[in-house]
Structure 1
Amino acid sequence: MFAKDILFWNVDTQFDFMSASGKLYVPGAEQIQPTLKQITAFAKSNNIQVVNTADFHYANSKELSNKPDFITSFPPHCMANTSGAEYVSETIPETPFSEIFWNNKYTEKDIRDFIINRNIVIRKDAFDVFQGNKNTNALLELIDPKKVFVYGVTTNVCVDCAVVGLAKRGISVYVIEDAIKELPNIPLPFSKWDKLKVKRITFSEIEKHLN
């Protein structure tokens, strides 16, 4: 139905992270928006399925704090049903899309119905999408991609969690380097990725890695 064995993985490209007026702005995030737009268009024109992860917090979320250390805790951001939790225009999922909420438990039939759509949104309540939405693993097993191309924010938090989680599940992971951005004061994960044989590419190189 979609491009065989290939999946794009858009991490948290939400207003609160991407915009200078957002609640948890990632410095320089706007610099990757032109590339994000190209990736979204490329996925559509090549009929590639996209998993879009999104922070979707309530006031009692464990990672939120009024006295954050900006490493393991952060100020309120991407609160459920607010504009800050919405995707920036460059990565808005094409409709119809499937939406998987972290506080719901779905059956296998539900998830099979979800993966009919080219775009899937996974709402999560933790840095790690596999911990922040317990349905993620079942979704991934049903899609069963061989290669996943990851992009979004932030390099050293949620992108890192996604990359490591995917790689540890035996999937070939490619990170699009000109479509990620990091938070300051947190170590970069590149040496860890190298040990997991994660490949780092630019968007201009993507076509040669699809087959």
Structure 2
Amino acid sequence: MSRALFIIDVQNDFTEGGALGVEGGAAVAAGITEYLAEHRDDYAVVVASRDWHDADNDNGGHFATDAAPDFVTTWPQHCMAGTPGAEYHPALDASQVDVHIRKGQGVPAYSIFEGTDDAGASITEVLTRHGVTDVDIVGIATDYCVRASALDALEHGQHVRVIRDLVAGVAAETSDAALAELGHAGAAIVDSAAASGTDEAAGA
């Protein structure tokens, strides 16, 4: 068994003060750093995703341009390539990340499986290379990119755990619904205190 950690979109624009900041985002960034200080050896590979949108177009309709954003399929400009908003939150220790995935380059993208690393490899290729069978997921936002990434990981045959105290969502109701959906789909919803890299320690 080989386990990976997915850190989803812990970026300045998704934390407090950002273009699409969520409450608790900065605390999640700091919490992931603390978690990795204790649990880094549990993981064969640590992968972090970032939205990395084009600055000169609407990214396939992802950015609202002609009307107000509906916050479902259209959004204000955020995480544009090379801007401070697209960078990792400073409380996240990015030195612990082995693979950096960029997604949403000119197109809408929510799941980490829609991105590529610096060499153009997909996350599926990364997981295969490291023999990963189990994935833990943390990050932002519970009800959007965390949800999409976890569902795709399940579809790709991974055993998935979502660490519920290391995710933050746009809204409590939709975040709770996302976690319930993921639990029904087969993911384990666990607390970081129970996550020791073994299934025996995980409690739904």
TM-score (norm 1): 0.78
Does the CA-based 8 Å contact 1:53-1:123 persist in structure 2?
Answer: yes
Match of residue 127 from structure 1: 110
SS in 2 for 1:207: coil
**Deviation (angstroms), 1:39:** 2.1
The equivalent residue for 2:146 is 159
1:166-196 deviations in whole A, cap 9, x for unaligned? 0111111011100001113873312321222
Q: Which amino acid aligns with 1:71?
A: V
1:22 to 10, 18, 23: 18
In the alignment, structure 1 segments of 5+ residues that lack a partner are 96-117
Work out the CA distance in 2 between the residues paired with 1:168 and 1:209: 21
Q: Tell me the TM-score normalized by structure 2.
A: 0.81
* Alignment pair present for 1:146 and 2:146: no
Structure 2: give runs of 5+ residues left out of the alignment.
none
How far the C-alpha of 1:127 sits from its partner, in A, is 1.0
Number of the residue aligned with 2:185:
196
Query: Contact 1:176–1:200 at 8 Å: present in 2 too?
Result: yes
Q: 2 CA distance for matches of 1:208 and 1:131?
A: 26
Summarize the alignment of residues 42-121 of structure 1 with structure 2, pairs less than 5 Å apart.
Answer: 42-44=38-40, 46=42, 48-59=44-55, 60=57, 61-62=59-60, 63-66=62-65, 67-94=68-95, 119-121=98-100
Amino acid at match of 2:95: E
Q: In 2, are the aligned partners of 1:6 and 1:210 still within 8 Å (CA)? A: no
Contact 2:164 2:189 in 1 (8 A): yes
> What is the SS of the residue equivalent to 2:167?
strand
Aligned length: 185
Structure 1 consecutive aligned stretches of length 4 or more whose deviation exceeds 4 Å: 45-48
Percent identity over the alignment? 25
1:14-44 superposed Cα distances (whole Å, 9 cap, x missing partner): 11112x2211101232333342221232344
Q: Which amino acid aligns with 2:189?
A: R
CA contact (8 A) 2:10 2:29 kept: no
Q: 2: distance between equivalents of 1:183 and 1:50?
A: 24
| Cα distance, 1:209–1:45 mapped onto 2, change above 3 Å | closer
RMSD: 2.3
Q: Distance in 2 between matches of 1:129 and 1:36?
A: 17
